[in-house]
Structures are given as structure tokens and as C-alpha cells.
């Protein structure tokens, strides 16, 4: 009976644990954005992540763009508009901070409130991030699904997270 109680206590403790934030990962992603009127836009690309705050999203479809965040700054290179935009980190999803604050909800689902938004995180069977959902500042429902996710034991090189503004692109601060 004591062994059974100990197993139950340890099991509930492990289920209540926070999400383990990887040192680094790379994954393909699909980002679905649904506006309040029900219109859906789907984006596809690749994400690179180094903990705690380096992220590069490379969008291939429906338009080509890069979103790099590091050291509290975000750069968006939009190749269709031929412009580079610079923002503070408050304007974009800070993946590490969202994951760090997440608490177990049920099963493989975790939730957290961060900067007034509710985030739902789903883990796969290997406890890797497979999905993140939230409402953005325009009341759109955003759902990001990760595929072919590969966690790393070493960080990517800093140059991986560099977004270069091509010559001739407009700059917006």
C-alpha cells in the first residue's frame, strides 16, 4: 500500500511539472490564423530556437519572410513588400517565457497567461512541444503546429538568428 501511495504521489508530481525548455530546437511549422469573422490564413515554414530568447521563423508560404528575435529586439524581413521592420520583443511571441510559465492543465496540455493572453501548449509523446495556441492583439486565434521537431543538446550558432536586410529594402522602425 505504501508503494502504491508513493507511486501515485510521484506520478502526480511529474504530471504537475513545468515544461522542460530545450537548449535548442529546429522544426517545421504550420501557423493557422483565424480572424473573428472566421477567415483562415495558413503559413508554413521552419523555426530555429535557442534558449532563452533567440528565435528565427522562416516563412515559405503563402509569402516569404523571416522573423528574428534576439536580445529584446524583433526584425521582420518581408520579401514580398521588400521591407525590414524593427520592433521591441513585446510585439511578438516570446516562446521561452511562455514555456517557462506554463503549468500542467491535463494530459499533455499546459496553459499559461503571459502579458494578458492565455496560451495553450500541447506536448507530444516525447514531451516535445507540438502545438501552441493563443489569441493575438487583433482577436485572431493563432494555432502553431510543429512537425519534425528536433531538440538539440547544443545551441545553434549566433549567425543562425541573423536577419539580413537586403539592399534596396525599406526600413521601418
Q: Write down the pLDDT at residue 108.
A: 94
The CATH number covering residue 18 comes to 2.50.20.10
What share of the chain has pLDDT > 90, as a percent? 68
94-127 burial code (b ≥16 CB/10 A, e <16) = bbbbbbeebebeeeeebbbebeeeebebbbeeee
- pLDDT tens-digit profile of 77-89? 999 999 999 988 6
What phi, psi does 16 have (nearest 5°)? Answer: -85, -5
Domain that includes residue 163, residue range: 2-172
Q: Which residues contact 97 (CB under 8 A, 6 or more apart)?
A: 53, 114
CA distance 43 to 73: 22
pLDDT for 11 beyond 50: no
User: Domains in the chain: how many in total?
Assistant: 1
Confirm if 121 and 132 have CB atoms less than 8 A apart.
Answer: yes
pLDDT in tens, 115-155: 888 999 999 999 999 999 999 888 999 999 999 999 999 99
Please say whether the dihedral angle defined by the alpha carbons of residues 65, 94, 135 and 28, taken in this order, is positive or negative.
Answer: positive
pTM of the model as a whole: 0.82
Q: What is the mean pLDDT of the chain?
A: 87
Beta-bridge mates of residue 24: 50, 152
pLDDT over 60 at 14, yes or no: no
pLDDT, tens only, 21-31: 899 999 999 99
Amino acid at each position: 500500500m505504501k508503494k502504491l501511495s508513493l507511486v501515485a504521489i510521484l506520478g502526480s508530481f511529474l504530471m504537475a511539472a513545468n515544461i522542460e525548455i530545450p537548449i535548442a530546437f529546429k522544426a517545421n511549422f504550420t501557423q493557422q490564423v483565424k480572424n473573428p469573422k472566421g477567415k483562415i490564413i495558413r503559413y508554413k515554414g521552419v523555426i530555429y530556437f535557442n534558449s532563452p530568447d533567440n528565435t528565427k521563423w522562416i516563412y515559405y508560404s503563402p509569402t516569404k519572410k523571416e522573423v528574428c528575435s534576439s536580445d529584446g529586439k524583433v526584425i521582420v524581413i518581408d520579401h514580398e513588400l521588400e521591407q525590414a521592420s524593427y520592433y521591441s520583443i513585446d510585439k511578438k511571441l516570446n516562446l521561452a517565457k511562455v514555456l517557462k510559465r506554463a503549468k500542467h492543465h491535463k494530459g499533455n496540455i499546459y496553459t499559461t497567461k503571459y502579458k494578458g493572453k492565455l496560451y495553450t501548449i500541447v506536448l507530444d509523446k516525447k514531451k516535445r512541444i507540438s502545438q501552441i495556441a493563443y489569441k493575438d492583439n487583433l482577436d485572431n486565434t493563432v494555432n502553431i503546429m510543429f512537425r519534425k521537431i528536433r531538440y538539440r543538446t547544443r545551441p545553434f550558432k549566433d549567425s543562425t538568428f541573423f536577419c539580413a536586410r537586403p539592399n534596396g529594402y525599406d526600413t521601418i522602425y
